Chains A and B, each alone.
Chain A
């Protein structure tokens, strides 16, 4: 008993020390940002927060640690009803970055995927071969199907407590997810270093996801069409090798909450499956927005290109 008490006191003092250290380094962080070479680092080790670069400089720049913080809770909110797949794709892309970072640090690289079973019926179930495009090894996935949000939160907490995983991805559809629940997830994530990614059911028309939570970042994801090269007349497809194809996943991403930084504006990003990183879609595509009255020209340009290629 005596031993237990002293042990508890010790751990309490250790915790206090840790907190003090975190606080101090939190004060140091603004100073560190002043130093010029800090900005050049792709991966920031700031205030005890380890972050992973997302690959796209502009996306990183909108985040306080110049990357996605590991050991934190991140939420992805689909902008509309049909954007669930986009939100899932974006969070898997984030998970892929986290897993690659964990692999580089020789940390465990498993992913726990928790989904409500009814969601599997409505939206479809995760298809393992489709994961490969994100550089995620399906063999490292553990899938848990749950009935209720409360069970989903329990699984996420368990996954975050072990530290034997790289990331935990959950889908939240019920009403039980509130500030307390998010705080529990965030604290466990912080303690173990496992990153929590939560896809939130679209409750609000504006896609804000309802009540405030303890998430470090919250993203709103919408699908984004590729350039309308084919014009309004309909597709010219299946005609041989000139087929532009569907291409890489492209999302319009808005950082609508950032705990230690500023919310960002809407950015269009693509997932590059070869470098397993994000890239800014607009910069690479180099397209100008095709307005309604210029669509005819766009179509002509498109058909000229076709002619040249064939």
Chain B
């Protein structure tokens, strides 16, 4: 909404024929045509739709991006031959857009600027069945010469100023000396002109990084059933595995893309713990992510792509000579199992233990995601015996089997201040202690005191109760300190359970 009331942001073809155009005040338009049907502009919705359209266009080229407010840009370098040349590509694209109910104006040109200008301002020519599609054939300055200056992606003020000076088409600018133009209209004009003509480079920021290796399959009939999708998935996995095999690579991340006939796209991603290129394994991992795909299929998927990311070198290994057994011959690998677990439960739920150089029990060992662990496979395996030596002086039963998530306070009865308790109550159960070992003193880590970590010394005792249950208790704080500074009396906690 501007100061003079609502304005038109977009018109359809019929309204355009009636002489309405974007930028017009709505009141004026209503005055001309009282029966006008008006919808509110939804800029966020448009941007979202444009982005999803750009994503869908990835089934034509991996490098696409939305070109707001009303365009989609595709880098089709090396892609056109898959569709029978540029004419075929543009025809296929146009046919899809017609089916989606979109009024699209398509253009192919050697530069981003030229394609932008051609698609928006190019004269409409029929090429095959692609209505209004433009392909820049011939030298760029000839193609662009008859376009209006607005086709150079200039702001409105520059366009208006140029028009006022009588410089109406790009051709008018081409012969002019550059210095006065740049002085009068700023560097932008010269830069846009150079970019359109290919004299200056322009980077293309794609929506998503292209995968290192990518395979795709298109289907004459859209796929709707899960069986068909799984079959296609198996073929894609085989294709990708062949590519990876050829180059001696293995993928750590795979993205499976589904392109629906009505221009909607969805992805499924899996990660692997080790670089993999076994088609059966990859397909199985991906197949587990297909649970809701049938509900999303709608009228079916017309294309599927499989991209390999995070590709690493993977050594070739001897496949079995006879393909009868299901990989039973050689030693089975743990990586497929880990991948399946990770893809079902998430990477942080499947962990390995890693020692950490701290005497505090809760910090001495920590779970590390298997993926992180596998990523650091170059580092040597953790030396647990040495770690235990450092921790508990090599005592075999020095550490409990179960460590509580956080130490729980217990009420303890003790004979002498520095001795173990005689009796303690934990979770409303009273335990009479018959045996005890200790204390093992663990001092706080003074360098972490600022972090609010435990500030008090702990004296750990291993105790056994009448029933033979063993616990790991500790007293937090020291008695002499408590007397000195009238601090709280030392409290007892249980930190672990022995088997």
Q: Is A123 an interface residue (CB 8 A)?
A: yes
Residue of B nearest to A248 (CB): B397
Instruction: Give the secondary structure class of B's interface.
Output: mixed
Contact (A224, B435) CB under 8 Å given A144-B349, A234-B422, A246-B397 = no
Residue of B nearest to A223 (CB): B468
CB 8 Å contact bits of A56-93 with B (1 = contact, 0 = none): 00000000000000000000000000110110111010
Q: Is A226 an interface residue (CB 8 A)?
A: yes
Q: Is A17 an interface residue (CB 8 A)?
A: no
> What is the distance, in angstroms, from B368's C-beta to the closest C-beta of chain A?
10
CB 8 Å contact bits of A149-166 with B (1 = contact, 0 = none): 001001100110011110
Q: Is A47 an interface residue (CB 8 A)?
A: no
Bin the interface of chain A by size.
35 or more
Residues from chain B with a CB closer than 8 A to the CB of A243 are: 436-437
What are 13 of the A-B contact pairs (CB < 8 Å)? A82-B467, A126-B402, A133-B397, A133-B399, A145-B345, A155-B345, A225-B464, A230-B434, A234-B422, A237-B437, A238-B436, A238-B439, A249-B499
Q: Is A286 an interface residue (CB 8 A)?
A: no
> What is the distance, in angstroms, from A233's C-beta to the closest C-beta of chain B?
10
Cβ of B415 and Cβ of A234 under 8 Å apart?
Answer: yes
Q: Once bound together, how far apart are the Cα atoms of A144 and B382, in whole Å?
A: 20
Q: Is A26 an interface residue (CB 8 A)?
A: no
Q: Is B131 an interface residue (CB 8 A)?
A: no
Cβ of B350 and Cβ of A235 under 8 Å apart?
Answer: no
Cβ of A244 and Cβ of B399 under 8 Å apart?
Answer: no
> What is the distance, in angstroms, from A75's C-beta to the closest C-beta of chain B?
17
Cβ of B404 and Cβ of A124 under 8 Å apart?
Answer: yes
Q: Is A178 an interface residue (CB 8 A)?
A: no
Residue of B nearest to A249 (CB): B499
Contact (A246, B462) CB under 8 Å given A82-B467, A85-B498, A238-B438 = yes
Residue of B nearest to A110 (CB): B334
Give the contact stretch, choosing among B89-97, B173-181, B351-359. Answer: B351-359
Residues from chain A with a CB closer than 8 A to the CB of B398 are: 129
Q: Is A139 an interface residue (CB 8 A)?
A: yes
Residues A230-261 near B (CB distance < 8 A): 230, 234-235, 237-238, 243-250
Contact (A146, B345) CB under 8 Å given A127-B402, A159-B337 = yes
Query: Among the interface residues A112, A129, A238, A245, which one has the most CB atoms of the partner chain B within 10 A?
Result: A129
> What is the distance, in angstroms, from B433's C-beta to the closest C-beta of chain A?
6
Cβ of B497 and Cβ of A162 under 8 Å apart?
Answer: no
> What is the distance, in angstroms, from A153's C-beta to the closest C-beta of chain B?
13
Query: Among the interface residues B396, B434, B465, which one has the most CB atoms of the partner chain A within 10 A?
Result: B434
CB 8 Å contact bits of B406-431 with A (1 = contact, 0 = none): 00000000010011101000000100
Q: Is A287 an interface residue (CB 8 A)?
A: no
Residues from chain A with a CB closer than 8 A to the CB of B404 are: 124
Instruction: Give the secondary structure class of A's interface.
Output: mixed
Cβ of B401 and Cβ of A237 under 8 Å apart?
Answer: no
Q: Once bound together, how far apart are the Cα atoms of A250 and B464, in whole Å?
A: 11
Q: Once bound together, how far apart are the Cα atoms of A143 and B349, in whole Å?
A: 8
Cβ of A139 and Cβ of B382 under 8 Å apart?
Answer: yes
Q: Is A210 an interface residue (CB 8 A)?
A: no
> What is the distance, in angstroms, from B110's C-beta to the closest C-beta of chain A?
50
Q: Is B71 an interface residue (CB 8 A)?
A: no
Contacts A82-B469, A92-B499 given; 19 further ones with Cβ under 8 A?
Answer: A85-B402, A86-B469, A89-B499, A92-B401, A126-B402, A130-B498, A138-B355, A139-B352, A158-B341, A162-B332, A225-B466, A235-B436, A237-B419, A238-B418, A238-B419, A238-B420, A238-B438, A245-B462, A250-B468
Q: Which residues of A contact B (CB under 8 A)?
A: 7, 10, 82-83, 85-86, 88-90, 92, 108, 110, 112, 120-121, 123-133, 137-139, 141-146, 151, 154-155, 158-159, 162-165, 223-226, 228, 230, 234-235, 237-238, 243-250, 271, 273-274
Q: Is B338 an interface residue (CB 8 A)?
A: yes
Cβ of A108 and Cβ of B469 under 8 Å apart?
Answer: no
Cβ of B350 and Cβ of A127 under 8 Å apart?
Answer: no
Give the contact stretch, choosing among B134-142, B387-395, B484-492. Answer: B387-395
Residues from chain B with a CB closer than 8 A to the CB of A238 are: 418-420, 436, 438-439
Q: Once bound together, how far apart are the Cα atoms of A83 and B470, in whole Å?
A: 10
Residues from chain A with a CB closer than 8 A to the CB of B401 are: 85, 88-89, 92, 126-127, 130-131, 133
Q: Which of A86, A121, A146, A244 contacts B499 (CB 8 A)?
A: A86
Cβ of B436 and Cβ of A246 under 8 Å apart?
Answer: yes
Residue of B nearest to A234 (CB): B422
Q: Once bound together, how far apart are the Cα atoms of A271 and B498, in whole Å?
A: 13
Residues from chain B with a CB closer than 8 A to the CB of A248 are: 397
CB 8 Å contact bits of B438-450 with A (1 = contact, 0 = none): 1100000000000
Residues from chain A with a CB closer than 8 A to the CB of B497 are: 85, 123-124
Cβ of B439 and Cβ of A130 under 8 Å apart?
Answer: no
Cβ of A139 and Cβ of B464 under 8 Å apart?
Answer: no
Q: Once bound together, how far apart are the Cα atoms of A49 and B469, in whole Å?
A: 35
> What is the distance, in angstroms, from B75's C-beta to the closest C-beta of chain A?
42
Residues from chain A with a CB closer than 8 A to the CB of B352 are: 139, 141-143
Q: Once bound together, how far apart are the Cα atoms of A245 and B496, in whole Å?
A: 17
Q: Once bound together, how far apart are the Cα atoms of A274 and B396, in whole Å?
A: 9
Cβ of A143 and Cβ of B367 under 8 Å apart?
Answer: yes
Residues from chain A with a CB closer than 8 A to the CB of B397 are: 133, 246-249, 273
Cβ of B350 and Cβ of A142 under 8 Å apart?
Answer: yes
> What is the distance, in angstroms, from A138's C-beta to the closest C-beta of chain B?
4
Q: Is B454 an interface residue (CB 8 A)?
A: no
Q: Once bound together, how far apart are the Cα atoms of A99 and B463, in whole Å?
A: 29
Q: Which of B331, B344, B418, B429 contacts A164 (CB 8 A)?
A: B331
Residue of A nearest to B415 (CB): A234
Residues from chain B with a CB closer than 8 A to the CB of A141 are: 352-353
Q: Which of B331, B353, B381, B435 contacts A237 (CB 8 A)?
A: B435
Cβ of A162 and Cβ of B337 under 8 Å apart?
Answer: yes
Q: Once bound together, how far apart are the Cα atoms of A238 and B459, in whole Å?
A: 12
Q: Which of A88, A129, A246, A274 contacts B464 (CB 8 A)?
A: A246
Q: Is B324 an interface residue (CB 8 A)?
A: yes
Cβ of B405 and Cβ of A226 under 8 Å apart?
Answer: no
> What is the distance, in angstroms, from B472's C-beta to the closest C-beta of chain A?
9
Q: Is B109 an interface residue (CB 8 A)?
A: no
Q: Is B364 an interface residue (CB 8 A)?
A: yes
> What is the distance, in angstroms, from B123's C-beta to the closest C-beta of chain A?
57
Residues from chain A with a CB closer than 8 A to the CB of B198 are: none
Residues from chain A with a CB closer than 8 A to the CB of B355 are: 128, 138
Q: Which of A88, A108, A142, A271 contacts B351 (CB 8 A)?
A: A142
Q: Once bound together, how far apart are the Cα atoms of A132 and B466, in whole Å?
A: 26
CB 8 Å contact bits of B359-403 with A (1 = contact, 0 = none): 001001101001000000000011011011001100011111111
Residues from chain B with a CB closer than 8 A to the CB of A244 are: 435
Cβ of A132 and Cβ of B403 under 8 Å apart?
Answer: no
Contact (A162, B334) CB under 8 Å given A246-B462, A246-B463 = yes
Residues from chain A with a CB closer than 8 A to the CB of B438 are: 238
Q: Once bound together, how far apart are the Cα atoms of A226 and B433, in whole Å?
A: 12
Cβ of A90 and Cβ of B499 under 8 Å apart?
Answer: yes
Residue of B nearest to A7 (CB): B324
Q: Which of B351, B418, B434, B437 contacts A143 (CB 8 A)?
A: B351
Residues from chain B with a CB closer than 8 A to the CB of A246 are: 397, 435-437, 462-464, 470, 498
Q: Is B336 an interface residue (CB 8 A)?
A: yes
Residues from chain A with a CB closer than 8 A to the CB of B432 are: 234
